[in-house]
């Protein structure tokens, strides 16, 4: 495989087979030095999809971020075929670098079924993405975020996200794209209820933050290269951990996914 860091989402999914049920992928060059968690989830899900028959679609995933990945080393994805059933199949994926495992992902796939469809989740009122300032300084490529302000004490965050480059119509590419974008926006919900409130530009100096674990349930398809809205609530902070739960909506109000993530929000203290 070439050693050129990907700059598009298609490049992120360009995994190379390295033996039975094993794939290797490269990381984009993130300014903060660690691999973005959403990238590892998306690549792990893509690796799992290579072992699943085409009529099965992802309906849920559960991931533990074990340690931060380094951007200048390939990631090896080892897939375990836990079960193949008539309606559902299950896979486990371990993502590794030379320092050890960086992520463990369990994911389940369901054969398409026609049955009752009811949506009770309602898309919140939000400004049009064209009316929200882009955070281009953080994501100049692959993904664009347009987040609303989370005021102190709100315990909520919300933002529009999309992948920058147009994708094919392959629904599996888009579901991996949504997994990629899902590890974002939620930190503001947790930060807003922390007793220590500092300006945004001081957060990295005053706090250590990371995603700890991540779960996602897919309800309806959506295009990852079109604006989609994340809405997050933080249920509380304890032990430097914040529990956030959220919903993902397409621009037309369709409830695309439900998400839960525990985040690390540790105050840096002088020793």
pLDDT at 138: 59
| Residue showing tokens 């807003």 | 192
Q: What percent of the chain has pLDDT over 70?
A: 97
Please, what's the b/e burial string for 129-144 (b: 16 or more CB within 10 A of its CB; e: otherwise)?
A: beebeebeeebebbbb
pLDDT in tens, 95-110: 999 999 999 999 999 9
Across all residues in the chain, what is the average pLDDT? 93
Which domains are seen in the chain, by residue range?
1-111 (3.10.129.10), 128-271 (2.40.160.210)
Is residue 211 part of the annotated active site? The answer reads yes
Is residue 96 helix, strand or coil? strand
Catalytic residue among 147, 182, 183, 186: 183
Residue 200 — pLDDT band, cuts 50, 70, 90?
confident
**What residues does 76 pair with on adjacent strands?**
24, 96
Residue 256 is encoded by which pair of tokens?
Answer: 């695309």
The residue among 135 and 267 whose pLDDT is bigger is 267
Distance, CA of 41 to CA of 104 (rounded, Å):
9
Is residue 21 part of the annotated active site? The answer reads no
Residue 60 is encoded by which pair of tokens?
Answer: 């849920």
| Residue showing tokens 């300014």 | 31
DSSP H or E segment with residue 46: helix 37-49
Residue 201 — pLDDT band, cuts 50, 70, 90?
confident
């Amino acid at each position: 495989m070439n050693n050129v860091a990907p700059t598009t989402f298609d490049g992120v999914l360009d995994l190379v087979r390295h033996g039975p049920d094993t794939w290797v992928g490269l990381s984009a060059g993130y300014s903060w030095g660690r691999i973005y968690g959403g990238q590892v989830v998306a690549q792990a899900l893509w690796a799992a999809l290579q072992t699943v028959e085409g009529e099965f679609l992802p309906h849920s995933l559960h991931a533990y971020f074990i340690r931060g990945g380094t951007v200048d080393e390939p990631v090896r994805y080892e897939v375990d075929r836990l079960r193949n059933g008539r309606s559902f199949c299950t896979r486990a994926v371990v993502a590794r670098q030379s320092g050890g495992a960086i992520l463990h992902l369990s994911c389940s796939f369901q054969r398409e079924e026609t049955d009752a469809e009811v949506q009770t989740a309602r898309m919140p009122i939000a400004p049009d993405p064209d009316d929200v300032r882009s955070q281009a300084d953080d994501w100049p490529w692959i993904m664009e975020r347009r987040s609303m302000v989370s005021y102190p004490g709100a315990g909520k965050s919300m933002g529009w996200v999309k992948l920058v480059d147009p994708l094919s119509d392959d629904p599996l590419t888009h579901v991996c794209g949504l997994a990629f974008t899902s590890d974002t926006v939620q930190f503001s919900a947790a930060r807003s209820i922390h007793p220590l409130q500092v300006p945004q530009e001081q957060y990295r100096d005053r706090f250590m933050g990371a995603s700890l674990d991540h779960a996602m349930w897919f309800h309806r398809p959506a295009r990852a290269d079109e604006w989609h809205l994340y809405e997050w609530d933080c249920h509380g902070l304890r032990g430097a951990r914040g529990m956030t739960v959220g919903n993902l909506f397409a621009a037309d109000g369709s409830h695309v996914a439900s998400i839960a993530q525990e985040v690390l929000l540790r105050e840096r203290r002088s020793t």
